[in-house]
Amino acid sequence: MTARQRVWLVTIIGILLLSGAAGYGIVAWAEHRARASGPSEVESVVTDARPAGARVVFRNTALGAGYGLVASVPLSDPTAARSLTDLACDRVYATDALQSCLHIDRGVVTTFNGTLSDASGRETRSWPLAGVPSRTRISADSSLIAATSFVTGESYATVGFSTLTTISATDGSQDYGNLEDFALFVDDLRITAADRNVWGVTFSDDDNTFYATAASNNQTWLVRGDLAARTLTAIRDTAECPSLSPDGGRIAYKKEVSGAATPQWSIAVLDLATGTETMLPEKRNVDDQVVWLDDDTILYGLGRDGTVGDSDVWAVSAHGEAEPELYLAHAWSPSVVR
């Protein structure tokens, strides 16, 4: 083959390959358009005002119009038509006064941000995130907010895929910063290893104590945090993404049970007074920070088999007595406004 023939050959190969890939992309785009503009899989109503009253706020993942928007259903009737807002969030948490929204801003330059909005839907604060949104929580009295994101965007993965968790006052008066800068104690020893990570905050009612996950060297701990003292103290190992019960007496968390490279998480409930851990009968892999529907029931999201980007919210008894039940189809990131 002459040099000229070789160039022609790779040119033809290049045209075939790239037009093939472009064709695949165009078909995928057309399919996406058809899905996104089609009717929603669930009954929903678009609302301007944010609904009041006891409700479950979540991310709507029903394919079709309204996908990815914050929605809510009355606590008394979760099967009712869902009220859709016009706010898109990847992770959402609401109290009666405030709503925290972690969001991926897609585009040629994709960035990540968090916003806080008040009961009228007006944005009160916004801040950039270091990467893909993970968890967010607001304290029950709406005075503190926590947000966890993954740290992404490093071409040389030397820091690894770590997390960044921050706590601040919702009115912007105080910023407690990155929780990795808090002193971490395990069995009275301070852990200073480089690979420390903290994620998944849950607040108690005193505006100072919180619980979270701390990790280092392939180990995870449930830690009790003290905002004033800037400390994290391990109270149990192998526990992630804690969630404090409304009565403040128990903590539910996901617990790694496989011991292998590919994690398998189950839900456990720890009684803080007795130290008793109860494993719940959910057999599927739960990667979520659970929420308490009430003092007896836990809600969590699970991916829907076979559908990319869709998920359901399930409910299970916090006492480990009954099998899980589907609570809300096509939903993710639930929070309960009482």
* Residues of the shown chain interacting with other proteins in the complex, contacts defined by CB under 8 A: 1, 6-7, 9-10, 13-14, 17-18, 20-21, 24-25, 28-29, 32, 68, 104, 106-112, 127-128, 130-132, 134, 150-163, 178, 192-197, 199, 215, 218, 261-263, 285, 287, 303, 308-309
According to DSSP, the residues that pair with 205 across neighbouring strands are none
Shortest Cβ distance from residue 141 to other proteins (Å)?
28
| Shortest CB 95 distance to other proteins, Å | 25
Tokens for 136, please give them: 């967010």
Mapped onto helix, strand or coil, the DSSP state of residue 242 is: strand
Written as six digits, the tokens of 115 are 């916003």
Using DSSP bridges, classify how beta strands 163-169 and 144-150 pair: parallel, antiparallel or unpaired.
Answer: antiparallel
When computed from its CA atoms, the radius of gyration of the chain, rounded to whole angstroms, is 22
Distance from C-alpha of 9 to C-alpha of 30, rounded to nearest angstrom = 32
Residue 10 or residue 273: which is nearer to other proteins going by CB? 10
Distance (Å, whole) CA 132 – CA 216: 21
Question: Least CB distance from residue 134 to other proteins, whole Å?
Answer: 7
Closer Cβ to other proteins, 121 or 303, answer by number = 303
- Please identify which residue in the block is written with the tokens 């033809």: 12
The dihedral through the CA atoms of 27, 36, 334, 88 has a sign that is positive
Report in angstroms how near the CB of residue 173 gets to other proteins at its nearest.
Answer: 18
Q: Which CB atom, from 32 or from 319, has the smaller least distance to other proteins?
A: 32
Cα–Cα distance for residue pair 261/299, rounded to 1 Å: 27
Q: In what order do the strands lie in the sheet with 291-294?
A: 291-294, 297-303, 311-317, 325-328
State in angstroms the smallest separation of the CB of 160 from other proteins.
3
Nearest one of 286, 280, 294, 288 to 336, comparing CA atoms: 294
How far is the C-alpha of 279 from the C-alpha of 318, rounded, in Å? 9
CB of 236 to other proteins, least distance (A): 19
Nearer to other proteins, 218 or 274 (CB): 218
**Distance (Å, whole) CA 303 – CA 282:** 14
Question: Least distance from C-beta 237 to other proteins, angstroms?
Answer: 16
Minimum CB–partner distance for residue 185 and other proteins (Å):
14
The helix (run of H) or strand (run of E) holding residue 81 is none
Pick 36 or 81: Cβ nearer other proteins: 36
Cβ closest to other proteins, residue 150 vs residue 203: 150
Specify the residue, 184 or 337, whose C-beta has the smaller distance to other proteins: 184
| Nearest CB to other proteins, comparing residues 117 and 289 | 289
